[in-house]
Amino acid sequence: MIHLWSRIPRYIRYIFIQTLYLFVFLVFWRVIFYCFFFTSTIHDTSVILKAWGLGLRFDLRLALLLMIPVGLIAVIARDRLFGHRALRRGIYTYFFLLYLVVTFFYVIDLGHYSYLGIRVEPSVTRFLAAGERATNARMLWESYPVVWGLLGVLLLLVLLNWSCQVIFRRYAGKEGVPLRPRSYAAWIVALVLIFAAGIYGNVAYFPLRWSQAMFTRDNGITSLALNPVTYFINNFSVKDDTFDKTKTRQYYAPIAEYLGVDHPDAEKLSYARSFAADSSKPRQNVIVVMLESGGAAMMSMFNNPMQATPNLQKLAGEGLLFTDFHVPAMSTARTVFGVTTGLPDVCKFKTASRHPGIVDQRVILDQFEGYEKYYLLGGNTNWANIRAVFTNNVDGIKIYEEGYFKAPKADVWGVSDFDLITEADEIFKAAHDRKQPFIAYLQTADNHEPYTTTAGKGDFKKVTEKDIDMEAFKKSGFLSVDQLNALRYMDYNIGYLMEKAAQSGYLDNTIFVFFGDHSARLNPFKHMPLPEYEMGTFVDHVPCIIYNPKLLKPQKIDRMGSLLDVYPTVAKLAGIPFTNYTMGVDMLDTTFQGERYAFITYTRNLQSFYALQGRQYLCEIGLESGDMKLYDLKADPFRDVKEKEPEIAARLDKLTRGFYESSRYLMFNNKKPR
């Protein structure tokens, strides 16, 4: 065997060894992913080994593809490769840049997976948007060991660069093997066949494809089976977000009926519904509180084993708790846009708030005549271009952000939630004392990496592993005790807000709305009525509580509710006249005879879907494929029943596609008259 190896031309042996070295380097990153980031609901060894096998084939493909330039140079230059100074420098430079780029890509991928639970994808470039780079950079700085990480990467690159040069010099020092033209041609053919077979990657009639990694419904297994670099490249697209008026008209009728449009018109595509003032209702203030990363599965009122949110549970017991309330997407920027405009943000490559052609919208918040309007954020509203969503659409809104508050910044997201509420209360009390009604959007942020907490009034204490039942913790879905403490701190601050509201006098004449903007990333859990983790929908299921003891009797409401419904609902409760131009409805409307649905988007098995979810049925459509599946949530949430229930499938297919196409259309065509 050694004798046979020595008869191979040294430049071909060099290609093999460098390819093997690169392959081992890629496997090294796969081992890191598996040991420190991989989570799954599947524990079958054969399934995990299959994922490993596919992943190694993807790694080999990438290694071979990256070695093609070196291979071409080597077989053309042959033994001159080792004696030509320019070629040597070119090889050194190529490998340095290759390992530099690949290393940083893997670091970004692991950070992306740690943050969102999915492999890095082209939409990650949204974090590089102008005006946001500094904020995102600070979040990375405060959430991750950046300095130690960079030092580790630097040492790794030094080692890799040295190793590549050692391998090159080793083969440069060996004697060349003279070849006849026929033998040279045979070695070239063999090399090409070996590379082609490795890149093809399959013993089948089709090459290895990323879809093969999706042999289960489990995101962790699929992520293990993929190579993040090849997956990123395969899914890269430069298509612009847009709308299709023909499809909007095609599905307009069922949407117009569902929404109760005043004057349906498929040509003009009207969605308007007007509501008169209700003078019988007392003039109420409105405070909408966004609970950062507050998913339903994390909350006490949804039976999470850690019971981390007693204050929210108390409010849920004394107010209206919507048990089936959903946001359209796992994104804070998309949530802020959606709740304000009444439209789900269905942009593929940018969030709508970052799209100059979309931020101009007719919104219900703007129609609260006689109200002072506030948006309060502990950080800076240049984040995700959120400032434009409010200032461009809500006349006279007052924005309180970084620079206004007396308290010092706690982290990248600005002042702590405790300090934000302290100073927000001063604003609310001043308006109350002037008998000035107000509507406010209060955006919390501390239940988010880097999970900053303060002592609050001096009585908030973090828990440690010694203080909690670790068996219950493992079942709860929380990724870390820091994440648990951040949720406890958010709940603490909600209790503090209600305490301040009572002390300042505006508690009884204010409608409070509390809702999660999306779930945080979680480990597998089993305590929810549906297998939301496996379905991928847990990211959209959040709590919603409407609280006003003087106006509303305690009630648990099981009808479907949506983020898009928040302002139509509070506008009706406040009795103001308004016109709704978009997709939200009044969640408390008891005159509607049909079933309500929530529009959601989610990723399962690294595939994107949009869907309408009801109490019994979920109609799911593949974002790229367009394929529809219908699931009976009261029977088997994983079994497609569209063949068994053709009438329901046909009706919900039209309604779901109509919701999506109407949302795409309205994002660009719901502009205020000029």
* Local mean pLDDT, 10-residue blocks, the chain (674 residues): 74 94 97 95 95 96 96 90 90 96 95 87 73 79 88 95 94 82 88 94 82 84 93 69 94 97 96 96 95 98 98 98 97 96 92 87 97 96 86 93 94 96 98 97 96 96 96 96 98 98 97 98 96 96 96 95 98 97 96 94 93 98 96 96 97 98 97 80
Task: Write the pLDDT tens digit of every residue in 207-253.
Answer: 888 878 888 878 899 899 999 999 888 776 545 688 999 999 999 99
**Residue 279 one-letter amino acid:** S
Task: Write the pLDDT tens digit of every residue in 168-201.
Answer: 999 888 887 777 888 888 888 999 999 999 999 9
pTM metric for this prediction: 0.90
Which residues, at least 6 apart from 619, have a Cβ–Cβ distance to it below 8 Å? 611, 612, 628, 629, 630, 649, 652, 653, 655, 656
Residue 300 · residue 312 · CB < 8 Å: yes
Beta strand residue intervals within 598-646, DSSP E: 598-604, 607-613, 617-622, 628-632, 636-640
Mean of per-residue pLDDT scores for the chain:
93
Give phi and psi for 239, each to the nearest 5. Answer: -65, 140
Nearest of 573, 617, 599 to residue 661 by alpha carbon:
599
The confidence score (pLDDT) of residue 616 equals 97
The confidence score (pLDDT) of residue 2 equals 57
The confidence score (pLDDT) of residue 232 equals 87
The confidence score (pLDDT) of residue 461 equals 96
Q: How far apart are CA 342 and CA 314, in angstroms?
A: 28
Give phi and psi for 83, each to the nearest 5. Answer: -110, -10
Query: Kind and range of the H or E element at 289?
Result: strand 285-291
Structure tokens at 140: 């990375």
The confidence score (pLDDT) of residue 3 equals 64
Query: Kind and range of the H or E element at 501?
Result: helix 481-504
Which residues, at least 6 apart from 497, have a Cβ–Cβ distance to it below 8 Å? 289, 421, 424, 425, 442
